[in-house]
Amino acid sequence: MSQSQKRNAAVALRSSVCPHDCPSTCALEVEVLDGRRIGAIRGAEANTYTAGVICAKVARYAERIHHPDRLLCPLLRTGPKGSGQFRPITWDEALDRVAERFLAVAEKYGSEAVWPYYYAGTMGLVQRDGINRLRHVMRYSRQHNTICTALCEAGWIAGAGRCTGPDPREMAKADLIVIWGGNPVSTQVNVMAHVSRARKERAAKLVVVDPYRTGTAQVADMHLALRPATDAALACAVMHVAFRDGYADKDYMARYTDCPERLEAHLATRTPEWASAITGLSVAEIEAFARLYCSTRRSYIRMGYGFARVRNGAVNLHAVSCLPGVTGAWQYEGGGAFWSNRSIYHWDKTLIEGLDARDPSVRIMDMSRIGAVLTGDRRDLGDGPPVMAMLIQNTNPAVVAPNSNRVRQGFLREDLFVCVHEQFMTATAKLADIVLPATMFMEHDDLYQAGGHSHIQIGPKLIEPPGECRSNHEVLQGLARRLGARHPGFEMTAMELIDATLRASGWPGAQTVLAQRWIDAQPSFAESHFLNGFGHSDGRFRFAPDWQAIGPYYAGLPELPDHVGVIDESTPERPFRLVAPPARQFLNTTFTETPTSRKRERRPTALIHPQDAERLGIVEGGLVRLGNQRGEVRLHARLFDGLQPGVIVVEGIWPHEDFPDGVGINALTSDDPGLPNGGAVFHDTAVWLTAEAAELPIAAE
Ligand SMILES: Nc1nc2c(c(=O)[nH]1)N[C@H]1C(S)=C(S)[C@@H](COP(=O)(O)OP(=O)(O)OC[C@H]3O[C@@H](n4cnc5c(=O)[nH]c(N)nc54)[C@H](O)[C@@H]3O)O[C@H]1N2
Ligand SMILES: Nc1nc2c(c(=O)[nH]1)N[C@H]1C(S)=C(S)[C@@H](COP(=O)(O)OP(=O)(O)OC[C@H]3O[C@@H](n4cnc5c(=O)[nH]c(N)nc54)[C@H](O)[C@@H]3O)O[C@H]1N2
Ligand code: SF4
Ligand SMILES: [Mo]
């Protein structure tokens, strides 16, 4: 449509919500051009968190929702597994085949041989979590959700006891903002709008703790480029300085924390010199940061998810969360620390997830270990049957899960039946037996909470889906009918589920939420700042966590904050530490299909320190090979001095086929569970690095 045609069409401005897996959950204003097309998308000015700001990739969403490659009809595999050869079939045939196979598998192997698998491709509560209703009613194997938040949550709960914190909008009232192990310029851009206000209005300082000079670090007043997985050492040294130099708030600690004297004694040896040797930061850098942090009352630590994606990540995140407990910063407006607001919504998800049918004795398996599960690892299967059938919604595990060579091997099993419900022909869909076409968020109704702020919102259906696309809820209804799965949730429309869930959770109904656009669920100042107590039974922040209560892998975790050397440390054979964080223009693998995102990200790239490059004969733009015991990946090099020598950064979860050998970055990452409760360790990988003779044609190797 040309610009003038667009102006002439009746453009309606409608409210929506970004459904993607991003803590910002932006309130959107969408130009709806007619019943089937959208125009520009903007952030809602009236929402005090979104404040008119959204990321570029969602602003140009028309490119994704009207993409010519969208899946439009159900498909049945005709060629060998993974060949990508399919033929169209009807919805009835597709759902009949899936149901027949699930019934046959359950009959032969038991219901636990079916493993519904999902993640957060949409964050809408109905379309994301409804798959659990089918799971629980049918007694299919359960899923331990570890791919993203398990490590962060373990670390946060260890100290604070519940996932809330000072209102993220208070960042604008801070005098110091520390962005610790996150890269919001890429991953949740709204944070930067609130940071900018603090800098403009209060001359606030911004510190970034990150192994490489990210877009966020670039605009900071101070960037601490530590070695990956050493954050607890830095945090301990800062607390050491607080005690040493009289910055520790002993009155606050006596009232609100569990064991300040033990902590002080323990930290006596955790000096800046000690931390310097572990983190690779200079003593002067550590001292300067410690002084700045300790002398600022209104200091707001915004934790990212990233720094917890290492084996010791929960311990590291907990150590950082101890800082405002020592200085007493929790008490002040603009002070404290924040990871996620997920505890503030008090949802009753019985209807959505079929929680009344859940049986905790049914087998549960770690989603990040999908490769091990599908290749029959007994540590994962337990005494139960092999996984013989899967329904996959909202995720692309063939690319995003760690140890991806093993994941692929699992999906290629001839005796495994896989149905993938998707918007595009992803790598996972290509490995399926049946592919079903899915709606996008503006084509169905859903209910959203925000991790990075405090709003409850409804994103209503705004346009008709293309082709024969159906929503996740509709697919689950269709399967439930065929499988004989009975639950009131299957009899309701998505909007009825939204309305009933809101009311059951103590919020106003759907009509009210739609009319007022959102509910601000931020608790009171006192509650948000834990002035009425932290989330443990004694109301105290725990410097000494009960790791055993949090997860099974607690052995070896320290009593008090400390550096734990359980990581994939570099060795002479694998001398580099690889960090694999998000790309700005993609969202996990979403948007790897849109031309402008692809163009801006260009190609898979390894950021390598010039000293390392020179030593190994690596040139700017040359091909390099990264490898370890799990696999090898080839990609192009970029020389970059914003990290320590010995560290390599590869941004983005590019599709496998964008790499010269068709093998993507997660071939290198490990599916070892993070401690103590599992969690994928995407930034904790030792690798070797070699230069490739770029002139050699690939076929000659
Ligand atoms: N554009 C874009 N936005 C996204 C995503 C995306 O892929 N692209 N993904 C979305 C999802 S699912 C999530 S969970 C969030 C995640 O967003 P973030 O919270 O930003 O977490 P990560 O992106 O995993 O990592 C952020 C940073 O952590 C750093 N890091 C890695 N290891 C360490 C360490 O040991 N110590 C420290 N201090 N830092 C470390 C990385 O270098 C990286 O810069 O973003 C969401 N938003
Ligand atoms: N190397 C490396 N790997 C990582 C990470 C990293 O930092 N580095 N980050 C990890 C993290 S934090 C996460 S959360 C995971 C995320 O991994 P995924 O959850 O797999 O995220 P996406 O790759 O965005 O895939 C989501 C898929 O859901 C589909 N989808 C979206 N909406 C709907 C819908 O309504 N219905 C259906 N049926 N499908 C839908 C999209 O088309 C997309 O293909 O990746 C992890 N993998
Ligand atoms: S910043 Fe995050 S929530 Fe906001 S529009 Fe972009 S992806 Fe969506
Ligand atoms: Mo995530």
Other C-beta atoms closer than 10 Å to the C-beta of 52 total 15
Q: Which residues lie with the beta carbon below 6 Å from any ligand 2 atom?
A: 21, 119-122, 127, 147-148, 393-396, 400, 421-424, 426, 438, 472, 580-582, 587-590, 653, 665-666, 669, 682
Query: What residues contact residue 510 under an 8 Å CB cut-off, 6+ apart?
Result: 447, 458, 495, 498, 499, 502
Structure tokens at 170: 């208070």
Percent of all residues in the chain with a pLDDT value above 90, rounded to a whole number: 97
Model confidence at 701, pLDDT cuts 50, 70, 90, reads very low
Structure tokens at 521: 């669920």
Nearest CA to ligand 3 atom 8: 18
Residue 6 above 80 pLDDT?
Answer: no
Query: What residues contact residue 192 under an 8 Å CB cut-off, 6+ apart?
Result: 184, 185, 216, 219
Nearest CA to ligand 2 atom 37: 394
Nearest CA to ligand 2 atom 25: 395
**Least distant ligand from the CA of 226:** 1
Ligand 2 center to 147 CA (angstroms): 10
**Least distant ligand from the CA of 320:** 1
188 lines ligand 3 (CB under 6 A): yes
Model confidence at 2, pLDDT cuts 50, 70, 90, reads low
pLDDT of residue 61: 98
* pLDDT one-digit tens code per residue, 126-179: 999 999 999 999 999 999 999 999 999 999 999 999 999 999 999 999 999 999
Residue spans per domain, the chain: 3-65, 75-145+348-445+459-520, 161-342+527-550, 576-695
Summarize the confidence of residues 23-48 as an average pLDDT: 96
264 lines ligand 1 (CB under 6 A): no
State how beta strands 75-77 and 38-43 pair: unpaired
**Least distant ligand from the CA of 301:** 1
Q: What residues does 687 pair with on adjacent strands?
A: 576
Nearest CA to ligand 2 atom 45: 400
Nearest CA to ligand 1 atom 10: 22
Find, among 177, 211, 579, 499, the residue nearest to 338 by Cα. 177
pTM over 0.85: yes
582 lines ligand 1 (CB under 6 A): yes
Residue 7 above 80 pLDDT?
Answer: no
Distance CA 397, CA 418 (A): 12
Residue 24 CA: nearest ligand 3 atom is 3
CATH code of the region 3-65: 3.30.200.210
Ligand 3 binding pocket mutation candidate from 15, 20, 192 (most atoms within 8 A of CB): 20
Model confidence at 694, pLDDT cuts 50, 70, 90, reads low
Q: Could you write out the DSSP letters of every residue in 203-218?
A: --EEEEE-SB--HHHH
Summarize the confidence of residues 174-195 as an average pLDDT: 97
pLDDT of residue 225: 98
Residue 19 CA: nearest ligand 3 atom is 8
Ligand 2 binding pocket mutation candidate from 588, 626, 630, 665 (most atoms within 8 A of CB): 588
Does domain 576-695 sit in CATH 2.40.40.20? Answer: yes
Structure tokens at 413: 């099993």
CATH code of the region 75-145+348-445+459-520: 3.40.50.740
**Least distant ligand from the CA of 396:** 2
Domain 161-342+527-550 -> CATH class? alpha beta
Structure tokens at 221: 């007043």
* pLDDT one-digit tens code per residue, 75-112: 999 999 999 999 999 999 999 999 999 999 999 999 99
